Amino acid sequence: VVYLVVFHLSFFMFVWSYWKTIFTSPASPSNEFCLSKADKEQYEKEERPESQQEILRRAAKDLPIYTTTASRAIRYCDRCQLIKPDRCHHCSACDICVLKMDHHCPWVNNCVGFSNYKFFLLFLMYSLLYCLFVAATVLQYFIKFWTNELPDTHAKFHVLFLFFVAAMFFISILSLFSYHCWLVGKNRSTIETFRAPTFRNGPDKNGFSLGCSKNLREVFGDEKKYWLLPIFTSLGDGCNFPTRLVITDPEQITVSSQNEPARSSGANQPFPTRPLSESQNRLLAGDCPWVESGPEEENAKSGS
């Protein structure tokens, strides 16, 4: 009875997670990141990249974006005709911009990003447990096969095949699941692992890391009772993310009276200064053990 309960439960959770990963549509940027009709026409008329960037900077001045291209330009998608939010990338297979895109997975025929990353992790975990369960139950027959204690029937080849398939998938999925657990702990996507996001102070692969505990909550949510269920509980909206670099940057955390000069700096100010909303910023509440104190931070705290 226990065997059947565990088998059916693991299989059900595996199928549920796999279903949610496949059929959850990738989240795309909201309309506020799209250029207005006038800006779009002006952008298309301009031939000089400098003039185009000036249009994008003007359109992005109130958007919560803190990353740029490697050449310090505003990240813009010509295909979707919108300013890319932080951690957003265009998927050539889906032909859309995907929020917090990790990769396009051919096994699920879908993009893995902000909307279904938790489901993808649970799919890997439950498929891993399912393969382990199958291999463990067949192991005793596999041992009897090698010791010639199994009756000489065609079934013994089925046992051999089933054990090897389960063990092979277990090893493969284990490596992939371990890699994504490491990514969650570091608060990185697969894309960011190979190409670090560029902030005001330059590229930083740990720019979005808030510490392992907060990184985990950002993906799975605040309530632990929902962590193992394939229901959406990730924090935020996918368009803006808490980042330790924003905390340590005085120009992005000062009061509104100090923000005005930064906003009017034109081409020399590619970073908008709109602060994160309260719902997005709750991960930053309390102590910030991931931030190393230094002279610049002390000056920022003292208002000097």
Count of all residues that appear for the chain in the document: 304
Per DSSP bridges, beta strands 76-77 and 82-83 are: antiparallel
Alpha helices in the chain (DSSP H): 2-23, 37-45, 49-59, 117-146, 155-186, 190-194, 212-220, 244-247, 250-253, 256-263, 278-281, 295-302
Give the active site residue among 77, 94, 105, 288: 105
Q: Is 77 among the catalytic positions?
A: no
Contact in structure between 215 and 237 (CB atoms under 8 Å): no
- Whole-number Å distance between alpha carbons of 152 and 261: 84
- Whole-number Å distance between alpha carbons of 99 and 112: 9
Question: Letter for the amino acid at 8?
Answer: H
- Whole-number Å distance between alpha carbons of 150 and 23: 43
Residue of 92, 102, 95 whose CA lies nearest to 238? 102
Question: Letter for the amino acid at 159?
Answer: V
User: Which residues share a beta bridge with 97?
Assistant: 90
Q: Which active-site residues does the annotation give? A: 105
